[in-house]
Amino acid sequence: MDGSADSEFELGEAAGGWCWVATSGSLGVQSGVRSILTIFLRHRGKVALGVVCLLVTDGAQLTIPLVVKGVIDRLAGESATRAWLGEQALLLCGLAAIVAAFRFAWRHFFFSTARLAELDLRNRILDHALSLKSRFFNQTRTGEFMALATNDVESVRQAIAMGFVAGFDGSVYALVGIAAMFWLDPLLALLTILPLPLLAVLMALSLKAVYNRWDAVQAAFEGLTEKTRESVAGMRVLRAYGRAAEDSADFERGNEEYFRKYMRYVTVDALFHPAVLLLAGSCVAILLGAGGLRVMEGRTSIGSFVAFTSYLGMLTWPMIAAGWMVSLVQRAAASMDRINHLLEIRDTEQGESRRHSGLAAPIRGRIEAKNLTFSFPGQERAALLGVSFLLEPGESLGVVGQVGAGKSALAQLVCRLHDPPAGSLMVDGKDVLDFPLETLRSAVAYVPQEAFLFSDTIAENLRMGNPRATQEEMERVCKLASLHDEILSFPRGYETLLGERGVTLSGGQKQRLCLARALLKEAPILVLDDTLSAVDADVERRILAGLSGAVQNRTLIVISHRVSAVRDLMHILCLEDGKVIQSGTHDELSAVPGFYQRMVELQEVEE
């Protein structure tokens, strides 16, 4: 965790995707600490109030030994009176009350600052993650984000809440305490603090080890988090294939690795505190020996000796605080460095989405592909190769082909989940790259292959398509998706909760709910990517019959492996290895020997 540590992280593109890789350490530590201080000082008003309260607390606490010294010396000299002793007792009670009140105040100010910083940091992580391009999510494990938003943010919060506070508080205690000791007896003070320089040596030795080992802990936590997510998400598959025991063994290995790395960190961290106590004990031994002699020789009063003992006891806290601060701040520096590398990624959608903000006219839905060629990031093989077609507003296009033919790539390019080459995909005669993303995507209702629903009510999932949708509008689109009657059979109808704490929908029900959500958007362009693959033929026919009238004025693109889903569309493209091998209407393609005719014949036999 030292500035001289040899581990920093930067985001690199590895064979398996994006990853955090080690580079040089001192810059990483420094940048991490600077970032934490920036967050800390963003709430400078609360910080200033906290510092004032902390100084008052320390001042009152450091005054108590002087009051005790005066009482002991007066008692030893038999010059104390009852009234004076009562005053001193009240003074000590007042100082104790000040310590209690202002300690509460500084804890409130600093801890609330830490929680506000935690809130802000988590929001920044999620907001930035949502702004990144799709390729980043395709190449990054979910566990990495979960670790950043939980463990790493928690480390930063702890540093803000107590790390810097412990360092500042310990510094005030040490400076004022040592100054008071020198004021009482300079020679005894010098002898007593002789072992303290060893504290700096201990800190220097622990810094690098703490930083590096904490980073290893966080990396192991990422892997463990991702493994947990995979195991829970894939539980049905694991059970179906009888692999639950093997998966459990894999998890145990990851858990043991996390445990080993954490124990390596704990070992270094734990060694510091006994060493500090050993130093404190040596200081006490010197005080008892040298201080006792000076009292016996009459060079120091008993009151001063007792005050010395109190101040030396108080110096134990700064020594412990130094180790605590080093541990918390260096842990946070490693975590903040990891967070910074995510926040510094500039591969964002917003970076290229407003080059021509003047395109404010409503999108009508004319789509044209001009020799469209596209490869997914990191892949040499072209997903689409020389694809061309033209759809006027209100026309429909069916896209069929084998798995890996490029059908879904085309759908993703239309709503610009990926950027096509400039000039190869046009909407209303303009390059899709020239549209602000918000404008383009507001004009496209897209239903991907994988139906995704939020753990919320059915109504709220539908309102993702249109937040202002009425109950009547939701019922209308659900009837089009042949889902309305099934929803009414649920315990609370449209207010039924979905997900882990609610109703679990079948694959076909999820697809139809996603279709209804897209229909509710009322966008001029509707893209359905194998939306009804989990729906039986009878339900599919009812849905398609209802859709034909509902989307008359919308440009419709339907991707499917079923002839029944595309046969009534105006245009059909057959893709193979990213190329258009056939195009025409259903009747035209059925009459010509080729891929489409074979698909028709095969599905007729299956039916």
**Residue 32 host element (H or E):** helix 26-41
Instruction: Give the pLDDT score at 475.
Output: 94
**pLDDT value at residue 101:** 94
The pLDDT-based confidence of 502 (bands split at 50, 70, 90) is low
The more confident residue out of 374 and 20 is 374
Q: What is the pLDDT of residue 141?
A: 74
- Scanning 77-196, the segments in alpha helix (DSSP H) are 82-131, 134-138, 142-147, 153-158, 164-184, 186-192
How far apart are alpha carbons 128 and 413 in whole angstroms? 22
Spatial distance between the Cα atoms of 347 and 22, rounded to a whole number of angstroms: 21
Distance CA 353, CA 367 (A): 19
- DSSP assignment of 514-536: HHHHHHHT--SEEEEESTTTTS-
For the cut 70, the answer to whether the pLDDT of residue 461 exceeds it is yes
Q: How confident is the model over 171-208, as pLDDT tens digits? A: 887 788 888 888 888 888 888 888 877 877 777 777 66
Give the whole-angstrom CA distance, residue 97 versus residue 78: 29
Mean pLDDT of the region 487-514: 84
CA distances from 589 to 356, 528, 594, 600 (A): 41, 21, 8, 10
| Contact between residue 5 and residue 207 where contact means Cβ atoms under 8 Å apart | yes
pLDDT at 16 over 60: no
Residue 254 contacts residue 231 (beta carbons within 8 Å): no
Q: In this predicted model, which residue has the larger pLDDT, 579 or 83?
A: 579
Residue 266's nearest CA partner among 322, 221, 331 is: 331
Give 350's pLDDT tier (boundaries 50, 70, 90): low
- The domains found in the chain, sorted by start residue, are 9-344 (1.20.1560.10), 358-606 (3.40.50.300)
Confidence of residue 411 (pLDDT cuts 50, 70, 90): very high
At 398, the pLDDT band (50, 70, 90 cuts) reads very high
Please check the confidence at residue 312 and state whether its pLDDT lies above 60.
yes
Top pLDDT among 259 and 132 is at 259
Q: Which of 198-202, 412-416, 579-583 has the lowest mean pLDDT?
A: 198-202
Q: What whole-number distance in Å separates Cα of residue 454 and Cα of residue 342? A: 25
3-state DSSP percent of the chain in helix, strand and coil, to 5: 65, 10, 25
Give the separation between CA 402 and CA 456, rounded to whole angstroms: 35
**pTM value surpassing 0.75:** no
Largest CA distance in the chain: 122
pLDDT tens-place string over residues 119-146: 888 888 888 887 777 777 777 777 777 8
For the cut 50, the answer to whether the pLDDT of residue 27 exceeds it is no
Over range 520-542, report the average pLDDT. Answer: 87
* Residue 554 pLDDT greater than 60, yes or no: yes
Q: Considering the chain, what is the average pLDDT of its residues?
A: 82
- What is the CB neighbour count within 10 angstroms for residue 85? 13
Q: In this predicted model, which residue has the larger pLDDT, 561 or 349?
A: 561
Q: In the predicted model, is pLDDT for residue 19 greater than 50?
A: no
Q: What's the pLDDT score for residue 354? A: 43
pLDDT at position 582 is: 93
3-class SS letters over 432-501 = HHHCCHHHHHHCEEEECCCCCCCCCEHHHHHCCCCCCCCHHHHHHHHHHCCCHHHHHCCCCHHHCEECCC
Alpha helix locations (H) across 234-368? Answer: 235-240, 244-286, 292-296, 302-343
Is the per-residue pLDDT at 486 higher than 60?
A: yes
